[in-house]
Chain A
Amino acid sequence: MLTLERLEITQEAFHLTADFSITPGARVAIIGPSGAGKSTLLAAIAGFVEPSAGRILWQGRDLGPLAPGKRPLSILFQDQNLFPHLTAAQNAGLGLRCDLRLSPAEMRDVGTALERVGLAGLAARKPATLSGGQQTRVALARTLLQARPLMLLDEPFAALGPAMKAEMLDLLAALAAETGATVLMVSHDPGDALRIADQTILLAGGLARAPQPTGALFAAPPAELAAYLGTPGTRPQRGPHKP
């Protein structure tokens, strides 16, 4: 279980608080206007941003002292998820051993993972020669090999087309189901949340609210969510923040 315990993140004029837990194996979307701090919240959990107060716990253990690579999680960024000078197999293999000293058995595992994400035969290619979807698949193969119990996704599919994005979301959901991993996924698209997330965290006005069932949340959106969605019939306080 991931617990954000009275977590506060402060950066210059920016402030964000969160105080809730996420059940193991859940697939959770984080949704909210741009600039609200979705990526920052993920960066704090991953260990790239130091919280100003509170703790982040995994199975009751404080993650604070752990370096990003030592935390029980994998993360996919918006971009720069692959090293351009390494092959698809090497990039994926980093998920097993980050020094790439792979045993023959581990190399077979890398091959299996690449096949699992639909990249059979492309192991020796470098990222620049792969399509955007294929690059995303390499990164997913790496998280599969990392086999960490928590997967963080900072809109890594944002640049893909709708069909490709849906395909990646389904692949992600399938991989998470296979490994039983908890998924925490930033998105600005309600469709993403509705497609694979059983719960959704609404992040607006400096507050990350506890996860709620996605269907119920979108069926009766609170004011902030309605304002973000531009849904009529509720009481929007401000216009939607679009990037």
Chain B
Amino acid sequence: MARRALPIGPAGWLGAGSASLVLALSFGTLGAVLARSGGWGVLGPADWAAVRFTITQALVSAALSVLLAVPAARALARRQFRGRGLLITLLGAPFILPVIVAVMGLLAVFGRSGLLNGALGALGVAPVSIYGFQGVVLAHVFFNLPLAVRLILQGWLAIPAERFRLAAALGMGPPEIARFLERPMLKETLPGAFLAIFLICLTSFAVALTLGGGPGATTIELAIYQAFRFDFDLGRAATLALAQFAICIAAALAALRLATPSGFGAGLDRRARVQWGADGAALRIADALILTLLSLFLLAPLCAVLAAGLPNLGGLTAPVWFAALRSLGVALASTLVALLLALCLALGIVRLGGGRGRALETIGMLALAASPLVIGTGLFILARPFANPATLALPVTTLVNAVMALPFALRALLPAVRDEDEGYGHLAEALGMRGLTRLRLVTLPRLRRPLGFAAGLAAAMSMGDLGVIALFADPGHATLPLQLYRLMAAYKMGDAAGAAVLLMALSLMLFWLFDRGGRVDADA
């Protein structure tokens, strides 16, 4: 049915305002860096090698993550078992796990003296190295496979139970359900998941810093860091950031063209038992095996960190605790900013629709393409005339973290906002529910689950972030990840392991609290 032409409305203006802010932070800061350097820098052969390495490892990491995630998400969607909720919460863990903590865990399992090589050595097999290409890909799959499972699982859960009931009534088995329900959903979900992971991998630098590095395994973001930190070559950093932008935006445009709405419409939120037609023994065993392997892959590194860190938790010093408080403040503030931006953008995208909506969506995803180091540096350059850099470290980190979390929050919110609009837009309009009334009574209640998930992601990502803060903070303004990094650099490994457990606990707790808040009693 053709929509009546509506004026742009408050949601449209808020969306456009948020988009402008994101644009200013992504491109405006790059402009600030450029203005300061006086022009673009020239890329050397090492920089081009970094560009090639970045694309290759990101493609391989994203493809592996998404391909492995599909059977795992299906198994989680169609099986009920004890600990399922725990496993789903755990799936949020690696992605929201502070990178340094996760790398410590991966080293303990896959490193030179780790569990895997210990087992291989006992069998007389030569040790495998976790460094270089395979290490970077392994770490990226560790971080992003669970994210892919969760994104795809949300797609599965977004198919109304009524559709599965209908499929069961029509006598459909797994192949037909796959064809008529799951593949249309995957077609909508997978490009977004692949792109999100591809972009995370393109711009990730802490993994490359710890497991890569050198001429063969340097990412663009790591090259930017080195340009800032060692050469203070702002021009080359700006050129590298532009190259990163170009690659990411090309990929983003491709994915936006691929994705089409699947049009499942709204269901009545009935808590019906979903009929999958997948009760055969072979399928049950396969699903159990898939979920067991997934759990092992996720749990082993986390357990390794816990084993090393728990005994040292009691001896943590005051600077560690103060750093933890600072990190909590930064995380909560940046979550608030990220959610406000994402909600305004999502409402603007859906209410405006058409080309203007797609433009807003593209801008919302831009932050994935931006370099947090460049955004942070740009903000420092812009704010330096007005404030002391040391006091700026935490506010700038808050803002950068919010922008970095925005694409994930938007991904989580957008499908639900579309459902709300398609399913209940006419009813709300017919009853005269507009503006804040509609937001309070319809939109926010319908968005509780994805809002909780988005808030959890944003808070935990910010909690564990080690990026901009490393370039600018003095000891008095360190966050917990930076404090941990400094302990590791000083070879205080016992304290570092204890701080790692504290950091992991705080990140997971933030995620759990928010995500749980969204899921408890969500449609009752």
Contacts and interface: CB of A to CB of B under 8 A. Distances in A.
Interface of A: 11, 39-40, 43, 46-50, 67-70, 74-75, 77, 80-81, 83-86, 94-95, 98-100, 126-128, 146
Contacts of B383: none
B432 A77 contact: no
Nearest to B7: A67
Given A43-B1, A48-B3, A98 B431 contact: yes
**9 closest cross-chain pairs (CB), A and B:** A69-B432, A99-B437, A84-B269, A68-B429, A98-B433, A85-B445, A98-B431, A50-B4, A98-B432
B426 interface: yes
A127 B269 CA distance: 9
A98 B437 contact: yes
Contacts of A67: 429, 432, 434
Contacts of A80: 266, 423-424, 426-427
B2 interface: yes
Which of B2, B440, B446 is most buried by chain A, counting CB atoms within 10 A of its CB? Answer: B2
Interface in B421-455: 423-424, 426-427, 429-434, 437, 440-442, 445-446
A49 B442 CA distance: 22
A86 B433 CA distance: 14
Given A49-B2, A83-B442, 11 more contacts: A11-B2, A39-B1, A48-B429, A50-B4, A68-B4, A68-B426, A74-B430, A80-B426, A84-B523, A99-B437, A128-B268
A69 B429 contact: yes
Interface string B442-479: 10011000000000000000000000000000000000
21 contacts: A43-B1, A47-B4, A49-B1, A67-B434, A68-B4, A69-B429, A69-B432, A70-B432, A80-B266, A80-B424, A80-B426, A81-B427, A83-B427, A94-B433, A94-B441, A98-B437, A99-B433, A99-B437, A99-B440, A100-B441, A127-B268
B250 interface: no
B524 interface: yes
A85 B1 contact: no
A48 B426 CA distance: 8
Nearest to A95: B431
Contacts, number: 80
Given A99-B441, A128-B268, A49 B4 contact: yes
Contact of B431 (A40, A48, A94): A94
Contacts of B441: 83, 86, 94, 98-100
Interface of B: 1-5, 266, 268-271, 423-424, 426-427, 429-434, 437, 440-442, 445-446, 523-524
Nearest to A146: B431
Contacts of A85: 269, 445-446, 523
A121 to B, nearest CB: 19
B431 A77 contact: no
A126 B434 CA distance: 23
Contacts of B269: 84-85, 128
Contacts of B432: 67-70, 98
Contacts of A40: 1
Contacts of A46: 430
B432 to A, nearest CB: 2
Which of A75, A86, A94 is most buried by chain B, counting CB atoms within 10 A of its CB? Answer: A94
B1 A48 contact: yes
Which of A46, A67, A74, A98 is most buried by chain B, counting CB atoms within 10 A of its CB? Answer: A98
A75 B2 contact: no
A214 to B, nearest CB: 27
Nearest to B422: A80
Contacts of A43: 1
A77 B269 CA distance: 18
A69 B445 contact: no
Given A49-B4, A50-B2, A127-B268, A69 B523 contact: no
Contacts of B424: 80, 83
Contacts of B430: 46, 68-69, 74-75
B337 to A, nearest CB: 27
Contact of A128 (B271, B423, B427, B440): B271
Nearest to B5: A50
B80 to A, nearest CB: 19
A48 B4 contact: yes
A159 to B, nearest CB: 12
A126 B524 CA distance: 8
A68 B446 CA distance: 22
B434 A69 contact: yes
Contacts of A146: 431
A100 B431 CA distance: 11
A13 to B, nearest CB: 13
B445 to A, nearest CB: 4
